[in-house]
Chain A
């Protein structure tokens, strides 16, 4: 898989250079009539996505996953922070323009119904991307046919159809085809399977795996379904209330989660083993209001281990270039934080 990646003519600096670096991304949405308050959808999130890697992003509803996805493609402009795409800063005068970065990144949306134009035959929807990027109409149509057959839809049969004539799974395949038609290197999957039933979900996930190999893609896979994330991802980023609380290799985090929130998330999965039923919900209540997040650690209002230090000091998400493969933003991991359990890390 990595061999094909190295051959990509657009590749710069080989595999050592991460495909995407996000530094301290921030997006606050002002709330009307609240006297200058804002929803802190994404508040200082940093991570890297390596070439050919799948980064899973998990978290509760409303924790900023979708906003993060839109930030990565500049569909919403970040208030602060920096995006570096394959070594080039995006959207600043010295780096590549936003438009150029959009040629290399695409997105698959959650709602397969509203993400296709109802008045456009699907072959035109798929051909639209290549067309606006300067391909001739015939050429764009040819690409659309090609990509449609790659996602398992017969272009002759499905091409002239309208979105309402397709099933949910077929529509999501069209969405994937649309994303791939422009030849991206990175695809952001914003809950691509959460609206599908289980059998179709499995088909689409396998399709995504196959396509990743075939097109040498890098995925950012957003989901609230932990099993799905584990199936597809190499590394995982856990988000809580607009912050990254833990990031690391998927197996390490699933085997030994560091952050209490990650532990609670993992414990909330229904168990396959009847002998290991979950007796009570490990985490209760709703997440705090992102307009007015708690001070200190944002999780302290729901954390079973919260102490005074958690209410006063905001834990940092470890050292980015540190030796350990994964980091968590928790005082219990920092021997100098003063948390009574900090020695157990």
Chain B
């Protein structure tokens, strides 16, 4: 379990940094940063009051969209036997174990899949809600 989480975290660090870097570069080029410098604000003050608020939005939105992708990837890894080991519960693992019962009770073997589906949809909806809440225009 820990290994799987660690692997996914490591994989997602570079794109996360890229999103943060892009947002910062965009904000930094805007005139209000220069105006803040002209009023004598130090770099730390400018970061705190002017940059962070404008950069955290996109970063949070991207992070929340990564949650559903991570859930899917983790279940996929477990399904293939690369993630969680049997005594621990995992939807991907359950999907794999219940695979054989598909001709006996088809509904049961679909349940872990449905759980994965609903969870990732929910995370996506949270991400959308966050995006709307972060936008001052709405």
A residues within 8 A CB of B31?
109, 111, 114-115
| A117 near B54: Cβ-Cβ < 8 Å | yes
- A241-297 contacts to B (CB < 8 Å): none
Task: Give chain B residues whose Cβ lies under 8 Å from the Cβ of A114.
Answer: 30-32
B41, B42, B45, B137: most-surrounded residue (chain A CB, <10 A): B41
A128 with B39: in contact, given A75-B34, A117-B32 (CB under 8 Å)?
yes
Which B residues are CB-close (under 8 A) to A103? 40
A128 touches B40 (CB 8 A): no
Does A210 have its Cβ within 8 Å of any Cβ on chain B?
Answer: no
For residue B12, CB closer than 8 A to chain A, the reply is no
Q: With A162-B136, A178-B35 as given contacts, are A99 and B54 in contact (CB-CB < 8 Å)?
A: no
Nearest CB of chain A from residue B138's CB, rounded to whole Å? 10
Are B32 and A119 interface neighbours, CB within 8 A?
A: no
Main secondary structure on B side of the interface with A: helix
- Complex CA gap A120/B37 in Å reads 16
Q: Is A125 an interface residue (CB 8 A)?
A: yes
A102 touches B136 (CB 8 A): no
Q: Determine if B53 is an interface residue (Cβ-Cβ < 8 Å).
A: yes
Number of interface residues of A (CB under 8 A): 29
In this assembly, does B38 line the interface, its C-beta being within 8 Å of a C-beta of chain A?
yes
Given A117-B50, A164-B136, also A129-B32 (CB < 8 A): no
Contact of A152 with B by CB under 8 A: no
- The answer, among A109, A111, A133, A179, for a CB contact under 8 Å with B40, is A133
B49 at the interface (CB under 8 A from A): yes
Q: Which residue in A75, A117, A120, A162 is a CB contact (below 8 Å) of B38?
A: A75
* B94 located at the interface, meaning its Cβ lies under 8 Å from any Cβ of chain A in the complex: no
Cβ contacts under 8 Å, A179 to chain B: 35
Instruction: Decide: A106 near B38, CB < 8 A? Known: A115-B30, A117-B32.
Output: yes
Contact flag A107-B38 (CB < 8 Å), given A118-B136, A119-B136, A128-B49: yes
Does B36 lie within 8 Å of A128, measured CB to CB? yes
The complex places the Cα of A116 from the Cα of B34 at a distance, in Å, of 10
A75 and B37 contacting across the interface, CB-CB below 8 Å: yes
In residues 93-129 of chain A, which contact B (Cβ within 8 Å)?
Answer: 99, 102-103, 105-107, 109, 111, 114-120, 125, 128-129
A-facing mask of B1-36, CB < 8 A → 1, else 0?
A: 000000000000000000000000000001110111
CB pair A102–B38 under 8 Å, yes or no, is yes
Smallest beta-carbon distance B113→chain A, Å: 41
A148 close to chain B: CB less than 8 A = no
Residues of A within 8 A of B50 (CB): 117, 120
Enumerate chain B interface residues (CB-CB to A < 8 A). Answer: 30-32, 34-42, 45, 49-50, 53-54, 57, 136-137
Given contacts A107-B35, A115-B32, A125-B32, 13 further A-B contacts (CB under 8 A): A75-B34, A102-B38, A107-B34, A109-B31, A109-B34, A109-B35, A115-B30, A117-B54, A119-B53, A120-B50, A120-B53, A128-B36, A164-B136
16 A-B residue pairs with Cβ-Cβ distance under 8 Å, sorted by A, are A70-B34, A73-B38, A103-B40, A109-B31, A114-B31, A114-B32, A116-B32, A119-B54, A120-B49, A129-B39, A132-B39, A132-B42, A132-B45, A162-B136, A175-B35, A182-B40
